[in-house]
């Protein structure tokens, strides 16, 4: 399967549905927003919807389905969330039990799907603005850290804010605030910069998730709310069944990155 032909969300989703794409989506369908997926039974979905509403920076909702609905009406009306991701993860009581390429066998009529904005959109905007992004330059996963900041709890869901970190020169950090502020539905502006100890982060070289990246002289750490936050809250709650995307294997929507920009 050549990535060169997958230039739209529809192309990527059709390739997934046909079993032709089972790996990472980074770089595919440039300009189209990619998203995190969380699928929960309806009785857990209510709490999770409230958790996202109360913590919009780490949990920016692009779309939420009705129970049993397989197409996310706003994000990709022709999509099928059961088949249109390259790979899924199925968790039972907090344990990973399967990593299938579709979830037809697991589907329930009471499943509610959450399509959650992802940092790819604002990173593309940073690069277009001439702001370098270290982990992309190095081909690594972004470093992520658990903080000492609690999310607002909702029902059975609670947990700390998880942040991603990008080292930047001060002038680039200022530009990054301006650029990412335009994208509130994909984490938006940074939540912190410069003082990791204030977040309870002792050592930037030892991220809790992802990979560490080096700092150059005169760079500050800039922190954004991260989509791992809701995943961590879900795993801690150990629902009987939850399905997510497999890391890096995102749901590619019909929404243009620029459609998500305010102003």
Q: How far is the CB of 175 from a second copy (least distance, A)?
A: 8
DSSP 3-state of 15: helix
- Cβ nearer to a second copy, comparing 70 with 189: 189
Beta carbon of residue 126, minimum distance to a second copy (angstroms, whole number): 14
Closer residue to a second copy (CB): 127 or 261: 261
Q: Where are the beta strands (DSSP E) in the chain?
A: 32-41, 61-64, 88-92, 95-98, 111-117, 144-150, 160-168, 192-193, 220-225, 242-245, 251-256
Instruction: List interacting residues with a second copy (CB under 8 A).
Output: 170-171, 173-174, 177-178, 181, 189-195, 198, 218, 220, 263
Provide the minimum distance between the beta carbon of 77 and a second copy in the complex, in angstroms, as a whole number: 31
Residue placing its CB nearer to a second copy in the complex, 193 or 243: 193
Instruction: Report the SS3 class of residue 3.
Output: helix
Q: Which is nearer to a second copy, 163 or 252 (CB)?
A: 163
User: CA 206, CA 219: separation in Å to the nearest integer?
Assistant: 17
- Cβ neighbours of 220 (radius 10 Å): 17
Strand partners, 9: none
Q: Taking the complex as a whole, how short is the minimal distance between the CB of residue 112 and a second copy, in angstroms?
A: 33
């Amino acid at each position: 399967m050549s990535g060169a032909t997958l230039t739209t969300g529809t192309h990527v989703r059709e390739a997934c549905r046909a079993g032709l794409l089972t790996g990472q989506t980074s770089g595919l369908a440039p300009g189209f927003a990619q998203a995190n997926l969380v699928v929960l039974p309806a009785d857990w979905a209510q709490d999770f919807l409230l958790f996202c509403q109360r913590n919009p920076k780490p949990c920016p909702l692009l779309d939420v389905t009705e129970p049993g609905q397989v197409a996310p009406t706003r994000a990709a009306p022709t999509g099928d969330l059961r088949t249109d991701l390259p790979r899924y993860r199925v968790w039972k009581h907090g344990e990973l039990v399967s990593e299938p390429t579709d979830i037809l066998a697991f589907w329930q009529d009471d499943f509610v799907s959450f399509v959650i904005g992802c940092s790819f959109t604002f990173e593309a905007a940073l690069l277009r603005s001439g702001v370098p992004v270290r982990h992309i330059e190095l081909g690594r996963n972004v470093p992520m850290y658990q903080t000492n900041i609690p999310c607002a709890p909702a029902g059975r869901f609670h947990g700390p804010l998880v942040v991603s970190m990008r080292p930047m020169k001060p002038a680039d950090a200022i530009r990054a605030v301006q650029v990412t502020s335009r994208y509130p539905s994909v984490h938006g502006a940074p939540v912190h910069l410069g003082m990791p100890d204030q977040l309870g982060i002792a050592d930037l070289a030892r991220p809790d998730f992802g990979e560490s990246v080096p700092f150059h002289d005169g760079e500050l750490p800039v922190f954004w709310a991260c989509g791992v936050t809701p995943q961590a809250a879900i795993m801690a709650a150990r629902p009987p069944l939850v399905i997510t995307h497999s890391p890096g294997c995102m749901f590619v929507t019909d929404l243009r990155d620029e459609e998500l920009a305010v102003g």
